[in-house]
Amino acid sequence: MSLTLEQVHRVAHLARIEISDGEAQNTLGQLNEIFSLIEAMQAVDTQGVEPMAHAQDVAQRLRADRVTEPGRIDQRSAFQEVAPETEAGLYLVPKVIE
């Protein structure tokens, strides 16, 4: 299997990573090499094998719907201190609705 330049641009768009034509060309070669390594998987007959998502076969725990960090509820300012741009407790982004 071999990727096309168009597919690289498409995937970069899906991943929201800006990519120039030159970078895409370079990336295409590298991805194709990596995929030729990955292709080894396709020769294996895995019919009837259950996919393994996790090392430990355990169910998700449930907990009561209550505040679990009393005294640490209002951490908005601490968390927003590391944000690129905030105002009045809100995160600022470019306008999305005209």
Closest distance between another protein and the C-beta of residue 67, in Å? 14
Closest distance between another protein and the C-beta of residue 89, in Å? 13
**Dihedral sign from CA coordinates of 38, 39, 45, 47:** positive
* Binding of another protein by 37 (CB under 8 A): yes
Which residue from 43, 39, 10 is spatially nearest to 27, judged by alpha carbons?
A: 10
- Separation between Cα atoms, residue 18 and residue 47, nearest integer Å: 39
Q: Which residues bind another protein (CB under 8 A)?
A: 3, 7-8, 11-19, 27, 30-31, 33-35, 37-42, 44, 46, 49-56, 58, 60-61, 63, 75, 78-79, 81-85, 91, 93-96
